[in-house]
Structure 1
Amino acid sequence: MSPDTGIGHPYFPQDAAIPHYEANMASLAVILRGFVSLIVVFVTSGLYVGRTINPGLRMSEMAAMAWFLLCFFLHAFFEGYFVLYHNSLAGSQTLFSQLWKEYALSDSRYMTSDPFMLCIESLTVLLWAPLCLAIVICIIRRSHMRHPLQIIMCVGHLFGVTLYYGTCFFEHHHKGISHSRPEFLYYWVYYLGLNAAWFVVPAVYLFQSIRNILLALECSEEAIREVKKAREVLKETTRLRGEFEEIRAERNELRAEYNELRAECRRLLQHT
């Protein structure tokens, strides 16, 4: 079968049109080794820079940085590559192309320029990649903007994964179309397993951000209550001070009257 017919390929559905498909020249081990090496170098370099700028970063902050650096790398470079070269991935032998062809065994929509995948991946590249980088910067600077941005990013990841799973589920159960090969590696490891990380981890960080914001609001409300109490105490102190000044003034008046009476008594005694 000719590759130009879109039939001579290993993807599901088997009649998917994938022109100019060429099998990967490198082995899976070589592809993964190169890709993982890039990720490790990028993430560790980012962590080193962050720790250099802010030596006081805690381990939890370093872990969050590592996650969002990973997300930035994947969104900006790996998924960005798909958005730019989706038409030629099937016949290309670059590292990212071969990795996409391997992953597409679990979701052939990446080989067919599926409109949904192009839309969601373009959104990911244009919005989520810069947002991940912004969160990393906020973590390094310990900016108060971290958690609002982190909530947006986590909700975006959760929403994207839900749509990703949901569209495949709908097509499989309502149209009988499966985009994944049935083997355990492709369906359970690639499709379900790898993408599940972008559901579990964002859920954890979403909970973390909501908790931190709630704690901050509680502290703020407590501070407001303390300020109100301080104002009431100050107001009461001012009132008591006013009363004290009035009593003091009355005392001075009485003392003046006493001195006048005393002087009058002395004058009368002198005349007698």
Structure 2
Amino acid sequence: MDATAPSHPYYPRTASIPTYVANESSVLRLLMTFGLMVGVVIGLAYWQTIQSPLRLRPIDRFAVMWFALCGFLHVGFEGYYVYNRTSIPELQTVFGQLWKEYTLSDSRYLTSDVFTVCVETITALAWGPLSWLTYFAILTNSPYRHINQVIVCTAHLYGVALYYGTNLGDFRTTGVSYSRPEAQYYWVYYICLNAPWAVVPFVFLYDSYKQTARAFRALQAPEAERKAQ
């Protein structure tokens, strides 16, 4: 065995991750466990839309499930990373092992990259709770629903743009790749798993745009009628 070979499977191969310990659980088991967690969160959120006395539109039901999931991921999963970021490489907890698996697509998480730590901290402390507030606002027909929705969706788009952009920028300027070359890691983990946050927010922003315009038209209608008389 080459004594100079890195003791971890991450890219770039020169990354310093001295405390790395290989996962004990198989990838299949980890993904099934995580999938079950996500399924429970989405299932409970959908059940709440069915039980709601409100006449929810299909997009409202989708939004309830989406923001419930975002809150879980931001506060639970990403918050776990922020709190344990220095010890993740050696952890054998479910979330610890999941992070070690995901970071095969982006090793910045295991090297305490400044941008990554900052953006994940903001996400866990701000956008996670705001996602849950939006989720509750929809179920309670709160007038603050669309304000919350616009803020968190804009934050998601901004965050994912920076996430993709900083990675691509480093690769273009220095040639450094943080992902292993296999398609599973770059295209499935890095691109596909993050892509929903580059697409779904546009759907909700468009809906908020329409609903806000509709509300203002209704508010301004009596005044317009008075002027027309």
Residue matched to 1:39: 38
What is the identity, as a one-letter code, of the residue corresponding to 1:43?
Answer: I
Residue matched to 2:197: 198
Residue matched to 1:136: 135
Question: What is the CA-CA distance between 1:51 and the residue it aligns to?
Answer: 3.7
Question: What is the CA-CA distance between 1:153 and the residue it aligns to?
Answer: 0.6
C-alpha change, 1:11 and 1:72, in structure 2 (3 Å) is same
2: CA distance, partners of 1:98 / 1:29? 12
1: CA distance, partners of 2:217 / 2:106? 45
Q: Does 1:105 align with 2:104?
A: yes
Question: What is the CA-CA distance between 1:188 and the residue it aligns to?
Answer: 1.0
C-alpha change, 1:69 and 1:2, in structure 2 (3 Å) is farther
Aligned pairs (5 A) from 1:108-187: 108-187=107-186
CA RMSD in angstroms, aligned pairs only? 2.0
Question: What is the CA-CA distance between 1:2 and the residue it aligns to?
Answer: 10
Which whole-Å deviations, capped at 9, do the CAs of 1:167-218 have from their partners, x for residues lacking one? 1011000011110111111111111111111010011111111121122222
Question: What is the CA-CA distance between 1:53 and the residue it aligns to?
Answer: 4.4
C-alpha change, 1:6 and 1:148, in structure 2 (3 Å) is farther
CA contact (8 A) 2:137 2:144 kept: yes
Partner secondary structure for residue 150 of structure 2: helix
Residue matched to 1:220: 219
Which whole-Å deviations, capped at 9, do the CAs of 1:97-120 have from their partners, x for residues lacking one? 111111101100111111111100
CA contact (8 A) 1:155 1:202 kept: yes
Q: Which is bigger in relative contact order (C-alpha 8 A, separation at least 6)? A: 2
Structure 1 residue runs of 5 or longer lacking an equivalent are 233-272
Bigger Cα Rg: 1
CA contact (8 A) 1:6 1:20 kept: no
Structure with greater helix percent: 1
Following superposition, which runs of at least 4 residues in structure 1 exceed 6 angstroms of deviation? none
C-alpha change, 1:192 and 1:147, in structure 2 (3 Å) is same
1: CA distance, partners of 2:5 / 2:194? 27
Residue matched to 1:22: 21
State the TM-score, normalizing by the size of structure 1.
0.79
CA contact (8 A) 1:69 1:132 kept: yes
Residue matched to 2:63: 64
Q: Sequence identity, in percent?
A: 43
Residue matched to 1:207: 206
2: CA distance, partners of 1:206 / 1:53? 23
How many equivalent pairs are there?
229
Which whole-Å deviations, capped at 9, do the CAs of 1:56-86 have from their partners, x for residues lacking one? 3333211110000110000010000000001
State the TM-score, normalizing by the size of structure 2.
0.93
CA contact (8 A) 2:9 2:104 kept: yes
CA contact (8 A) 2:7 2:18 kept: no
What is the identity, as a one-letter code, of the residue corresponding to 2:201?
Answer: P
What is the identity, as a one-letter code, of the residue corresponding to 1:61?
Answer: D
